[in-house]
Each structure stands twice: as C-alpha cells, then as structure tokens.
Structure 1
Amino acid sequence: METIITTTDTVPGREIAHCIGLVKGSTVRAKHIGSDIVAGLRNLVGGEVKEYASLLAGAREQAIDRMLSEARTMGADAVVGMRLETSTITQAASEVVAYGTAVKLK
C-alpha cells in the first residue's frame, strides 16, 4: 500500500489510530556553473529560469522521498501536516527539507 501524504492534519475519509512522530528528509543542492551562465542570460531577457526550476523540483522530490522512507521505516501509513522549507546554505547551494507527522491509520 502506498504511503499517503497530506498537507492537512487529517486524512480525508480515514481515522488516525495514533501518532508515531516527526519525520523529515532533506537534501542540499548546488548550482552548476553552466546553469548560472544560462540563468544570467535569461535574466537579461526575462522569463522562467528553467535550469533552476528543474534543480529545485528535483531537490523537493528527493527530500520528500527521504521523508517517506523514514516514515515507512517507522511503520507509518501516512504523513500528515507535510511542509517544505528551503534555506540558503551558501550563495551557490540551498537546502530543501520536507517534514511532517507520521501516523498509523485505522
């Protein structure tokens, strides 16, 4: 069965049997010099910086996957109250953290 993820504090149509605890997953990604050059050119003409959008999308997915792996290890059926946070580590690197509450469903 697939582990359910929700940003709400409940799972619609299901009852929470008990709370297992906090689960989290994170990744730190750095920009590539080639992406910086292309992004700099895009800044001149405007538009979406696809290189950075792709980098962040991959980082979000990896952080969520790591959070889910921790939840499954703890025997969770779902993660409720899931959130994503991003912070800058250095000028060239950012951390993405996914976190929530692992729960067992009835």
Structure 2
Amino acid sequence: MIVVTTENIIGYKVKEVKGQVFGLVVRSRGLGGTLLAALRSLIGGEIHEYTSMLEDARKQAIDRLVVNATAMDANAIVMMRFDSSEIGQTMSEVLAYGTAVVVEKV
C-alpha cells in the first residue's frame, strides 16, 4: 500500500477514488507514566514516555488506515494527515486520515 501526504504520486495515475478513509487510536497514559511525566515536567525537557506513546499511536493509526483502505479495494492513500486531541486528563486520540484511491503506473 502506497501512503503519501501529497495529492499525486509521481509515476502513478489515479484511476479511481474510493473515498475517505481513517485509522483511529485512543490511548491512556496510565498512572505510572502520568506520575513520571509530571516529575519530568518540573525539570523541563522532553517527556520520553509521552513521545514513545504518541509514536506508537501514530504507527497503529497508520496500520488501521491501511486496513480500512484495503477493505475498500484501494491500493494507495493520498493526502494522508494526522490529527490528535486529548480526551479528559489521561487519554490521547490520534487519527490518521486520507483519501483511498486505486492507482496504476504510468
């Protein structure tokens, strides 16, 4: 599956647009990670626990995006984007979305 953030894929032509597609992940930080992050925030700098959690969530969101596009019989996703938000004090939502298409080599 080709996944790009651009509208076009060099060397390919969009043959069919299947429609919008997304992959959604909601993650909880957990008590241990929240306490450790709170302590690190007092000192300043990167909070590695959150960075790792969000990187994993983005990878999982892309995996779900690809599964959904495959179910639509697409072979590529164009204009892929991420969106994220907080749910309450302890949960983060990561959404990967784009347009599922069928492409062929030019």
TM band (smaller chain)? over 0.9
TM-aligned CA deviation for residue 69 of structure 1: 0.2
Runs of 4+ with >6 A deviation: none
Unaligned runs of 5+ in 1: none
Q: Which residue in 2 is equivalent to 1:24?
A: 22
Q: Secondary structure at the match of 2:12?
A: coil
TM-score normalised by length of structure 1: 0.93
How many residues are paired up? Answer: 104
CA–CA separation in structure 2 for the residues paired with 1:38 and 1:91: 15
Unaligned runs of 5+ in 2: none
Does the alignment pair 1:41 with 2:39? Answer: yes
TM-aligned CA deviation for residue 84 of structure 1: 0.5
Q: Which residue in 2 is equivalent to 1:12?
A: 10
Query: 1:1-106 counterparts in 2 under 5 A?
Result: 3-106=1-104
Q: Secondary structure at the match of 2:87?
A: strand
CA–CA separation in structure 2 for the residues paired with 1:41 and 1:93: 18
Q: Percent identity?
A: 45
Q: Deviations over 1:69-96 (max 9, x none)?
A: 0111111110000011001111111111
